[in-house]
Structure formats: structure tokens, C-alpha cells
Amino acid sequence: MELDRRDHSRRAAIARSVVDPIVHKPDTVVTNARLSESFQIPADAARRILDSLVRAGIVAQTRDGVWMNVKR
């Protein structure tokens, strides 16, 4: 399924769905593959979401391909 980058409401909903468990359950592990599969989005879209979460200071890469809440 192709994610229409112009569909801002869907993009925002996906981002909220990713951020909520990370913030409320700090031990949540996030991977690019898990995001892609869970939200039925392309891997490059999942990577952009992760990159934006890193820039926002919400997650940090803990090991190759794995991100977690920075305040856990």
C-alpha cells in the first residue's frame, strides 16, 4: 500500500499511533520493519517517521535498527 504523502491527516494519525506507545510505555522497542508492517506503510515512510522522532528527541537508536524512548 502506497502512503500518499499529501494525506496529512493520515500521516499525523500514524505518527500519533507510533509516538503514543513510546511515550506511555518507555520500554517499547521500535524497528523500521515493525512500523512498516504494523501501519501498512512503505519502509521508506517508516524510516522518515523514525528520523523525525530522532530529530524531535523522542527516540534514539539503541543498536543497529532498534529505537527506544530516550527518557526510559
Domain borders along the chain are 8-69
pLDDT mean across residues, the chain? 84
Segment 21-46, tens digit of pLDDT? 877 887 888 899 998 898 888 899 88
Q: How confident is the model at residue 13 (pLDDT cuts 50, 70, 90)?
A: confident
The domain 8-69 having CATH identifier 1.10.3720.10: the answer here is no
Q: Residue 70: CB partners within 8 Å, gap ≥ 6?
A: 57, 58, 59, 60
Amino acid at 54: V
Q: What is the pLDDT of residue 32?
A: 92
